[in-house]
Amino acid sequence: MSQSPKNIMITGGAGFIGSHVVRLFVKKYPQSKIVNVDKLTYAGNLNNLKDIEDAPNYKFVKADIADLDKMREIIKDNEITGIIHLAAESHVDRSIKDPFTFARTNVMGTLALLQAAKEYWDSLPEKYEGKLFYHISTDEVYGALEITNPEGVKAPFTTKASADDHMAFGVDFFVETTKYDPHSPYSASKASSDHFVRAYHDTYGMPTIVTNCSNNYGPYQFPEKLIPLFINNILQGKNLPVYGKGENVRDWLFVEDHARAIDLIFHKGKPGDTYNIGGFNEWKNIDLIKVVIKTVDRLTGKPEGTSEHLITYVTDRLGHDMRYAIDSRKLQKELGWEPSLQFEEGIEKTVKWYLDNKDWVDNVTSGDYEKYYDQMYKNR
């Protein structure tokens, strides 16, 4: 791109990751128009953006990304030159129960956005000059990795092991060229959407970028996901359901670090390229849960570990991948990005936020905000 896009459309901007990206862009780029497009499903909440909702360079539009005519209208009316596409159904358990919703939103929604952007940009004299379609995906499209190295020695899943430490130990990671091997309806739908984005680049010459990120955590995450769910359950003295033996391993990244990476890639990344975003911060689920328990206990005045009795082992999830791990050295070397927080620091900040924002948690778990939005927008 010869210039950075000025009118930027962010889909899913009322969700967990999206709200952090919207907030960052609204505050950092006051000369850019930021258009937040969100359907406001159960995981979308405009309360996530109260601090910037009146900013002069911010606009919210309630819309379904799978509505092609509406996407055409929004992109044309707002003269959109850049799209950051985060809107997606993302909960694996929900995808197992209702795969069709995931296919509609993640596949057909992405296709509608691509087509609407292509048609509008093709109509302009400068065509694709200064344009970008940036698609945010997941590490789950790659499938699963082993937990042991070739010699059968358990890998060093620590928060402070560097990328080179891990590589020297013989541990496999997902890289940008890893073959796709999705195992759940969710990851299959995201893999399909990734392929459509790359197809629009290869077929039509549309400037696109795809990033695949590891598990995010932090403020404003809907409490169906592991960390906020367990924080909330600990506070209420409810059971902490752990799949299988809790030995599945995930790489965790603080959401604000992901937002910084998105900003950097959007402005400096190479169109047509792929970047992996991860923290080299792997934890077994059971070990992560114990860190969360200790942190919540300590910050609520209890001896650390008091709430471990709430751990309850449940039947493992269908098709539960054993390990995900992202190699983000390409992003580090080419664009200079790296995570800013160690996991313990990020968990401390996250737990404190949930403790300080119990009204937000109560609101999203009650579902009252959904009824409010339905009433507000029903005649629009």
Catalytic residues: 139-140, 186
Q: Indicate the helix (H) or strand (E) that contains 368.
A: helix 368-377
The strand pairing partners of 208, in sequence order, are 133
Give the count of beta carbons closer than 10 Å to the beta carbon of residue 191: 20
- Both tokens of 93, joined, read 């358990």
Q: What burial letters (b/e) apply to 103-122, b meaning 16+ CB within 10 Å?
A: bbbbbbbbbbbbbbbbebbe
- Which of 285, 292, 288, 291 shows the shortest CA–CA distance to 247? 285
Q: Indicate the helix (H) or strand (E) that contains 134.
A: strand 132-138
CA atoms 90, 91, 93, 97: torsion sign: negative
Q: What is the DSSP pairing of strand 82-85 with strand 7-11?
A: parallel
- Both tokens of 190, joined, read 């995201």
In the sheet that holds 282-284, the strands lie side by side as 215-217, 249-254, 282-284
Q: Indicate the helix (H) or strand (E) that contains 58.
A: strand 58-62
